[in-house]
Amino acid sequence: MSKFQQMPVPPYPGERDPGKESLVKVAALQMEPHIGDKDYNMAETLKIIDKAGKKGAKLMVLPELCNTGYIFNSREEAFALSEEVPEGPCTEEWIKKAKEYNAYICAGITEREGNLLYNSVVVVGPDGYIGTYRKMHLWNEEKLWFEPGNLGFPVFDLPFGKIGCRICYDVWFPETTRILAAQGADIICDSTNWVVVDPLQTKEKPTAATSAAQMSLMNSVFSICADRVGAERGCTYIGNSCITDPGGGFVAGPADPDKPEVVMAEINVVGARFRHWSAFNNPHTDRRLDWYDELLGYNPDEEW
């Protein structure tokens, strides 16, 4: 447990066990999908879910597009590999695992809605389908295959706290994490495919992991970042999956840059709710809402 997680929370009447107010085991599941091989990829996701589930993980995050691979040659290829959510077979298999381990799973998926494609994360739990997040900020050739996300920035209520989802390039846009945090998210579940972008990011200099830690610090949230490893059609992935805390530290990871790995930690969600840095400072209440609105112009009630 990090020093940040041991920070005291304000006392209140009654008895409690300090430091154990809302403990939950979380895991980033780092794996290597194979482009176009959905049977293999699904088998790998179920295998690594089993590893984490048997260790007691109650919130698991899988990489971006983990059921299909990432570098498509054409929109036709992407469309052929896509499926509807939540009716598709991949979502159904993840729901079975969520029920088996009484856990919650966020998994990257190539989603089809009619003739439209989305780079999405499906959120499932013991009682079935919970919701979907569609990537808002498309990276590079994704713009050739996918539509920009149109579901906004939903926050999902789970028994141990509130979660929001982020996908890879989203971390470079601070509005994403800030809007989720402003809506009460305690944990950001980041399904990602961090890649080598020399010289900005390499396996040895994983700036994406550092950015995730900084987003946690600036927004007082935990982040669970599940990256993939390996190479695919000339694109090299950096691994370095991690779990970061509201103090900007690494609770677990960064993981090995080349190998599948379960990155796991037990976190106290209360750490994302006690946001006072000093007697006079709280990064959330200190925001100048007289100059900008709470959600930076985002209106979750409008029709997307």
DSSP label of 159: T
Q: What angle do CA 24, 25, 29 make, to 5 degrees?
A: 140
DSSP label of 178: H
Indicate which residue of 32, 64, 93, 232 is catalytic: 64
Distance from C-alpha of 264 to C-alpha of 280, rounded to nearest angstrom: 34
Say whether 142 is catalytic: no
H helical segments located in the chain: 38-54, 75-81, 89-101, 142-145, 174-182, 207-219
Say whether 168 is catalytic: yes
Say whether 77 is catalytic: no
Taking each helix axis from N to C end, the angle separating 174-182 and 207-219, rounded to the nearest 10 degrees, works out to: 30
Cα of first residue to Cα of last residue in the chain, in angstroms, is: 40
Q: Can you name the residues that pair with 131 across neighbouring β-strands?
A: 123
Indicate which residue of 25, 58, 97, 135 is catalytic: 135
Indicate which residue of 165, 168, 225, 242 is catalytic: 168
- Which residues form the catalytic set? 64, 135, 168
